Amino acid sequence: MSRGLNKVMVIGNLGRDPEMRYTASGKPITTFSLATSRTWVTSDGERREATEWFNVVTWGNLAEICNQYLRKASRVYVEGRLQTKTWEDSDGNKHCRTELVANEMLILDSRHNHQRREQEEYYLDENPDLPF
């Protein structure tokens, strides 16, 4: 029997702050939305852009790290697999949701550099009379 492949790699920005909760057994789970954009030029020369949103799910230590270090607009690389959940609500309506279950995450923007920029701006505002 041949094996299949379910591997997803995306780079994008968080659409909202991560949300962490715990399963009944105490295992942490963190979820967040991730936007990836692509641009292209049509045959008429018109520039177009499309954004794809991913629902990302992280578990265990990775869930704790994502909750601690990521914020809305953070730029990240996420690697994992796609998983589709289906369920029926109390009214009998069927629902479907595809999630990216992450097993790896890399922060691409530097929070430290962002804080340093804010600090530098603060210092610049504090000393407006400096000649340099």
| CATH number, domain with residue 25 | 2.40.50.140
For the entire predicted model, the pTM comes to: 0.78
**Over residues 70-96, mean pLDDT:** 96
Could you tell me if residue 36 is inside a domain?
A: yes
Could you tell me if residue 131 is inside a domain?
A: no
Question: Is the predicted pLDDT of residue 118 greater than 90, yes or no?
Answer: no
pLDDT at site 111 = 62
Which residue range(s) make up the domain with 65?
Answer: 8-126
Could you tell me if residue 3 is inside a domain?
A: no
**Over residues 80-84, mean pLDDT:** 98
Percent of the chain with pLDDT over 70: 83
CA 74, 61, 27, 77: dihedral to nearest 10 degrees?
A: 40
Q: Round to whole Å and give the CA distance between 132 and 129.
A: 9
Structural domain count, the chain? 1
pLDDT at site 132 = 45
